[in-house]
Amino acid sequence: MTRFFATARFTILIAVIGSFLAAITLLIFGGLVTIKVIAETVSSPKIEFKAMKDLLLAFIQLVDLYLIATAIFVIALGLYELFVDERVTVPAWLEIHHLDDLKEKLIGVIVAVMAVYFLGLLVSWDGQSNLLIPGGALALVTVALTYFISNKPRHSPGGRDS
């Protein structure tokens, strides 16, 4: 039975490959949209305030897309490190030794995505709608996620729970 579970852990490669392909697809799509937005801006520039806001919003949405693609890539890499091969060479800040490490990285990106989303709301704000409700909701989620991260048990440096 031990050998079965030792081998079965490699089934996580389905999630690793799927997440990696999803991240690459989002990055390629984002790159193509970036080129399109730049080409349209250069080919027929509109020097007006609304055009500037539209351009800002387009790039903010692209940053959001890139952040989500990065989060999915980090998930793929983290699952690979946790279940397949922990010897993969990554920068120290990207090392994953526990599922909690992966959760922390993901929560950090979620908070960044929410901030970018709110920035998009601010840029596209018409002066009429109430930004307090989405801003308050995002703030509450951020506080909850921060609480979640700060109150979880810490692991010993050796990789085993203390």
Residue 125 tokens read as 């704000």
Answer with the residue of higher pLDDT: 8 or 30.
30
pTM of the predicted model as reported, rounded to 2 decimal places? 0.77
Cα pseudo-dihedral 113, 118, 119, 125, rounded to 10: 150
What is residue 156's predicted lDDT score, i.e. its pLDDT? 56
Geometric angle at alpha carbon 151, from 136 and 147, rounded to 5°: 5
Rounded CA separation 18/119 (Å):
30
pLDDT digits (tens, 9 = 90+) for 125-160: 888 888 999 999 999 999 999 898 888 766 555 554
pLDDT digits (tens, 9 = 90+) for 27-72: 999 999 999 999 999 998 888 888 888 899 899 999 999 999 999 9
Nearest of 92, 94, 87, 86 to residue 70 by alpha carbon: 94
**Would you place residue 162 in the very low, low, confident or very high pLDDT band (cuts 50, 70, 90)?**
very low
Around Cβ 4, how many Cβ atoms within 10 Å? 8
Q: Where are the domains of the chain?
A: 2-150
Phi and psi, residue 37, nearest 5°: -65, -45
Please spell the DSSP secondary structure of 74-105, one letter per residue.
HHHHHHHHHHT-TT----GGG---SHHHHHHH
The residue count for the chain? 162
